[in-house]
């Protein structure tokens, strides 16, 4: 198969939602269709012993939530599908924001009862900033929920999306009978508790009396509602979906494997093939011959038995080949990769080559940081993968003096993942962890103990915000550092960081020292 054909075969997307909307369950069912798994797992269940494929970390199995982005690839109808299942919980949003730089489209999952929730709003806002194509899947139709028209209004108002339904529900909750696919003009009937793939019945003409044999008196209601849909919502155009100006909406029940196949079949037809990305030097198109890619995620201990550390790389252009040396732009040296891997959550297989749109795992001995670029020699840097200024802070102290080396190594590796940031006070030498959510502290503590055998304790610290500081005015910078010595730290890269203990302190510092730049993301 030719290089251009390989690119056309790829579909790389993320599934995003507020926690508990059914994102990981939907991922499981998509994997089921691709033959990647034989039995769909439960996110949290007492009855089903198999846990979700994408929730493989111990803490994820205990909590029933995703705390790290999982990458899964499978083949479906001759296409190579790459799914990134992201954390929904707001405390892990930074991982999700970075993941969105590595995908070409997204599926947003919304709970029919809860509607649009706060975390969904934040994530969709990031997608809209990049004009990422969005498909909406309204989930849990087998439970009571909001009226379909009411939900569509809510999506348009809260998410600022222009929607067009491509399927339509026939009742919901106990009376849920199925969906009518507007996209392929077919009726799909729901059977509670049945996990088989439903077969559609073609109905081009909804006035056909045969329809009543399938759904009874709901035939008239369905016909009226679909007339209203056609009158109110714009006609679906693929180009408008691809430029982010219109979002198709599907209805179903991921847990019952209903409506998922229609979503997947439509997705592979309309979703974008791999797109290019902007670098510091120029725009890189996927069909360029020279390989380029960027690191958007690092994960330590995917296999705790081997203490491995893996960098997740999105291939942007060219063909990646095993054992071929590539240029690490930041380190300015060539590195060869003997065991590049393809992913199925934590299960990995060695790959010989990869193409634009693919996500590959590179074993890392400490060479990579999030945002690093690999090329065949060209000096360029991919943009848009920042670390954000943390909002919550704790002193971290060693709880077991015999394990100080393990703690230092664990903190070093976990911070490289980007889940949190580590600052060292310049005058005190004390270590401070900064995160965007309280649950991160628990995850770090859990992973330090279970993956590194190190125990830590936290102590409170009063901090409002951190800011990286730079300036060309050496005198002003020296004066600032002398006066603010107790509030200065350095990050893992040795860069100067101001620890503001209040909004007032930050504001007055910015006014008093106009030639000092205060940066709130690490991209500067």
pLDDT in tens, 342-377: 865 445 678 899 999 999 989 887 788 888 999 999
User: Is residue 460 scored above 90 in pLDDT?
Assistant: yes
Task: Show the tokens assigned to 79.
Answer: 């296409």
Q: Give residue 87's pLDDT.
A: 60
* Nearest alpha carbon to residue 68 among 48, 84, 79, 51: 84
Q: Which of 65-74, 317-326, 457-466, 489-498 has the lowest mean pLDDT?
A: 65-74
Q: Give residue 122's pLDDT.
A: 79
Find the mean pLDDT for residues 269-298. Answer: 93
State the average pLDDT for the chain.
Answer: 84
Distance CA 34, CA 27 (A): 11
Categorize the per-residue pLDDT at 304 as very low, low, confident or very high, splitting at 50, 70 and 90: low
CA 43 to chain centre: 17
Q: Give residue 203's pLDDT.
A: 72
Categorize the per-residue pLDDT at 443 as very low, low, confident or very high, splitting at 50, 70 and 90: confident
pLDDT in tens, 446-456: 888 988 899 99
Categorize the per-residue pLDDT at 437 as very low, low, confident or very high, splitting at 50, 70 and 90: confident
- Answer with the residue of higher pLDDT: 107 or 70: 107
Percent of the chain scored above 70 by pLDDT? 85
Q: How many CB atoms lie within 10 A of CB 486?
A: 11
User: Is residue 65 scored above 50 in pLDDT?
Assistant: no
CA atoms within 13 A on the CB side of 199: 1
Handedness of CA 445, 446, 448, 453 (dihedral sign): positive
Highest mean pLDDT among 35-49, 295-309, 486-500: 486-500
Q: Give residue 175's pLDDT.
A: 86
Find the mean pLDDT for residues 110-128. Answer: 87
196: helix, strand or coil? coil
Find the mean pLDDT for residues 205-212. Answer: 74
User: Is residue 288 scored above 70 in pLDDT?
Assistant: yes
Q: Give residue 215's pLDDT.
A: 83
Sheet strands (E) in 127-242: 134-139, 163-165, 167-170, 178-181, 186-189, 201-202
The answer to whether 330 and 366 are in contact (CB under 8 A) is: no
- Answer with the residue of higher pLDDT: 432 or 20: 432
User: Is residue 36 scored above 70 in pLDDT?
Assistant: no
Task: Show the tokens assigned to 473.
Answer: 């005015």
Sheet strands (E) in 54-196: 70-76, 79-85, 105-111, 134-139, 163-165, 167-170, 178-181, 186-189
Is residue 282 classed exposed, middle or buried when 0-12, 13-18 and 19+ CB atoms within 10 A define those classes?
exposed
Task: Show the tokens assigned to 370.
Answer: 């999030």
Q: Give residue 452's pLDDT.
A: 87
User: Is residue 53 scored above 50 in pLDDT?
Assistant: no
Q: Give residue 47's pLDDT.
A: 33
Categorize the per-residue pLDDT at 299 as very low, low, confident or very high, splitting at 50, 70 and 90: confident
Q: Which of 33-42, 255-264, 281-290, 491-500 has the lowest mean pLDDT?
A: 33-42
Which domains, ranges and CATH numbers included, belong to the chain? 3-170+234-270 (3.40.50.300), 277-375 (3.40.50.300), 392-519 (3.30.70.3280)
User: Is residue 217 scored above 60 in pLDDT?
Assistant: yes
Categorize the per-residue pLDDT at 197 as very low, low, confident or very high, splitting at 50, 70 and 90: low
- 368 phi and psi angles, rounded to 5 deg: -105, 150
Distance CA 278, CA 382 (A): 6
- Answer with the residue of higher pLDDT: 231 or 69: 231
pLDDT in tens, 417-433: 777 889 999 999 999 99
Q: Which residue is associated with the tokens 């155009």?
A: 237
């Amino acid at each position: 198969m030719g290089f251009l054909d390989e690119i056309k075969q790829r579909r790389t997307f993320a599934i995003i939602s507020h926690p508990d909307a059914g994102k990981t369950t939907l991922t499981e069912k998509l994997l089921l269709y691709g033959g990647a798994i034989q039995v769909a797992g439960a996110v949290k269940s007492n009855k089903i012993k198999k846990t979700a494929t994408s929730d493989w970390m111990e803490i994820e199995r205990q909590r029933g939530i995703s705390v790290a982005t999982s990458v899964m690839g499978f083949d479906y109808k001759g296409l190579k599908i790459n799914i990134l299942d992201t954390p929904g919980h707001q405390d892990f949003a930074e991982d999700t924001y970075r993941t969105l730089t590595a995908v070409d489209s997204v599926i947003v999952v919304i709970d029919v009862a809860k509607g649009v929730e706060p975390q969904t709003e934040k994530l969709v806002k990031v997608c809209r900033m990049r004009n990422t194509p969005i498909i909406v899947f309204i989930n849990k139709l087998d439970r009571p929920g909001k009226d379909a028209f009411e939900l569509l209004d809510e999506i348009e108002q809260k998410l600022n999306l222009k929607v067009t339904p491509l399927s339509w529900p026939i009742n919901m909750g106990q009376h849920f009978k199925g969906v009518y696919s507007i996209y392929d003009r077919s009726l799909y009937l729901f059977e509670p508790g049945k996990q088989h793939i439903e077969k559609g019945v073609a109905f081009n003409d909804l006035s056909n009396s045969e329809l009543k044999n399938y759904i009874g008196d709901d035939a008239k209601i369905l016909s009226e509602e679909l007339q209203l849909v056609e009158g109110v919502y714009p006609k679906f155009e693929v180009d408008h979906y691809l430029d982010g100006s219109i979002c198709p909406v599907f209805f179903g029940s991921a847990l019952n494997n209903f409506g998922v196949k229609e979503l997947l079949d439509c997705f592979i037809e309309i979703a974008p093939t791999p797109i290019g990305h902007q670098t510091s030097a120029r725009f890189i198109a996927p069909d360029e011959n020279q390989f380029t890619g960027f690191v958007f995620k690092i994960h330590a201990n995917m296999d705790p038995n081997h203490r491995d550390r893996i960098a997740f790389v999105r291939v942007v252009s060219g063909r990646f080949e095993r054992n071929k040396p590539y240029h690490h732009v930041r380190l300015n040296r060539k590195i060869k990769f003997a065991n590049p891997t393809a992913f199925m959550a934590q299960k990995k297989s060695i790959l010989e080559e990869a193409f634009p749109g693919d996500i590959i795992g590179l074993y890392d001995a400490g060479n990579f940081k999030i945002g690093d670029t690999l090329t065949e020699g060209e000096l360029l840097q991919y943009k848009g993968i920042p670390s954000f200024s943390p909002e919550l802070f704790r002193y971290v102290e060693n709880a077991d003096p015999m394990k100080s080396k393990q703690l230092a190594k664990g903190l070093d590796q976990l911070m490289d993942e980007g889940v949190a940031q580590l600052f060292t006070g310049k005058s005190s030498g004390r270590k401070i962890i900064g995160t965007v959510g309280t649950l991160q502290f628990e995850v770090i503590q859990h992973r330090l103990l279970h993956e590194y055998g190190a125990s830590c304790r936290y102590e409170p610290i009063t901090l409002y915000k951190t800011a990286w500081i730079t300036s060309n005015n050496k005198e002003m910078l020296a004066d600032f550092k002398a006066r603010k010595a107790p509030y200065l730290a350095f990050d893992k890269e040795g860069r100067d960081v101001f620890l503001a203990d209040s909004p007032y302190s930050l504001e007055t510092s910015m006014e008093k020292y106009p030639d000092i730049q205060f940066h709130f993301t690490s991209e500067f």
